[in-house]
Amino acid sequence: MSHNSDQSPDRHGSAAKRVAWYRTKSFQLVIGVAVTCGCLWLAARVMANGRPLGDLVREIADAFSRADYRTLPVILAILGVFYWIKAWRWRMLLVPLGDFPTRVLFPPVMIGFAANNLLPAHLGDLVRVFVFARQQRQPLTAVFTSVALERVLDAIAILSLLGLGLLLTPKMNDPGVRTTMLVVAAAICVALMGAAVYLIWTKPFVRAFEWCLGRVPFLPEAVKHKLARMLEDGAAGLASLKHRHLWIGLMFTSFLQWSLNAAVIYLALWSFGIHVSPWVSCIVMGATAFGVTVPASPGYFGVIQLCFLAVLRFFTDDTVGVGAASIYYHMVQWIPVTFTGAYFFFRTGIRISDVTEQPSTASF
């Protein structure tokens, strides 16, 4: 009898702490590696176009040997401005918690991006929030709110630039492709109008969204809860940001940073002799920005290459040049960002286990 009574609380306790199998780190890592391998295989297949893999490797190496690297210092300078602007915008989002200098926020921002490059399951935002909250003695939930609102602003800026790119790209020969692009552009306009309603009439929008979620039978309850919580957190942040000049600054910095990202893509393509319209670079930027949200292995390897090829196949036949440009674009960010973020992280004295063991991890 005593044995059974002792076991019951443990069984209930372990059940309360049990994590669904699809949310375990091992499952997410396996899915991420599978996605990365699949994207790399597809990208290599598109570039090879039936040629042996050895020939493809030599052609990519030849493309790098002929590339114009005068763009490298310009790209690095643009990236430095991009991440500084991201820290500046975060400063505005954190106004309800206090006035934090941009130079204080820049290290956590870089740490977050480095963590996304090295850790599975897109843990970068969690690491960034934890580092900042620990250093500045701020509540995790309040800082999470700023990140939830940041995601909304990013989506608005990316969708706007993607929509402009689709609408302003010169008419292509294939009418079917053009029609598809216009349909996507129209869908983006609808999404932007929904975002505008969310920003202006936040509380009614959140209630309506939760009502709609409750009537989707095939959507798991955990996903419904997470989506609703993200909107509610964003709504809390919106309610606390009442000043008009803050909104002007937030929208300006959001559009500026993603325009800079499109400029980096344009320069990377130019380096490898791929000359396209800046609006095409906006399309590539939008596809890449949303492509990296899929559950891939750390660093987005394969995903970025496939996004470049998927968009630019409508504008050029030089798939090897596009693939090489995507690698250039990828590495010119991955290497300096990862090392810079790792440097700042090691200076904090915080361990990764301190972050991943937080209760907030499961719900973020």
Tens of pLDDT, residues 70-80: 999 999 999 99
- Domain assignment present for residue 251? The answer is yes
Task: Read off the pLDDT of each residue in 135-152 and give the average, rounded to a whole number.
Answer: 84
Task: Read off the pLDDT of each residue in 184-195 and give the average, rounded to a whole number.
Answer: 72
pLDDT of residue 258: 96
pLDDT tens by residue, 274-328: 999 999 999 999 999 988 887 667 788 889 999 999 999 889 999 999 999 999 9
Q: Which domain range does residue 141 map to?
A: 38-363
pLDDT tens by residue, 217-232: 666 666 667 677 666 6
pLDDT of residue 1: 42
Instruction: Give the Cα separation of 133 and 129 in Å (integer).
Output: 6
Surface-to-core class of residue 81, CB atoms within 10 Å of its CB (0-12 exposed, 13-18 middle, 19+ buried): middle
Confidence of residue 15 (pLDDT cuts 50, 70, 90): very low
Across the chain, mean pLDDT equals: 81
pLDDT of residue 132: 94
Instruction: Give the Cα separation of 201 and 208 in Å (integer).
Output: 11
In this structure, of 144-148, 266-270, 321-325, 338-342, the range with the lowest mean pLDDT score is: 144-148
In this structure, of 86-95, 135-144, 271-280, 300-309, the range with the lowest mean pLDDT score is: 135-144
pLDDT of residue 51: 80
In this structure, of 21-25, 63-67, 161-165, 215-219, the range with the lowest mean pLDDT score is: 21-25
- Domain assignment present for residue 85? The answer is yes
pLDDT of residue 356: 64
pLDDT of residue 199: 66
Confidence of residue 68 (pLDDT cuts 50, 70, 90): very high
> Does 176 score more than 70 pLDDT?
no
Q: What backbone phi and psi angles, to 5 degrees, belong to 363?
A: -105, -5
In this structure, of 40-44, 149-153, 176-180, the range with the lowest mean pLDDT score is: 176-180
Share of the chain above pLDDT 90, in %: 38
- Domain assignment present for residue 17? The answer is no
Instruction: Give the Cα separation of 215 and 210 in Å (integer).
Output: 9
In this structure, of 32-41, 87-96, 305-314, the range with the lowest mean pLDDT score is: 32-41
Instruction: Give the Cα separation of 304 and 280 in Å (integer).
Output: 16
Number of separate domains in the chain:
1
- Domain assignment present for residue 278? The answer is yes
Q: How many residues does the chain have?
A: 364
Surface-to-core class of residue 102, CB atoms within 10 Å of its CB (0-12 exposed, 13-18 middle, 19+ buried): middle
Q: What backbone phi and psi angles, to 5 degrees, belong to 25?
A: -65, -40
- Domain assignment present for residue 16? The answer is no
Instruction: Give the Cα separation of 118 and 124 in Å (integer).
Output: 9
- Domain assignment present for residue 43? The answer is yes
- 292 CB neighbour count, 10 Å cutoff: 15
pLDDT tens by residue, 329-361: 999 999 999 999 999 999 988 887 777 666 544
Smallest CA-to-CA distance from 228 within 244, 212, 241, 243 is with 212
- 215 CB neighbour count, 10 Å cutoff: 7
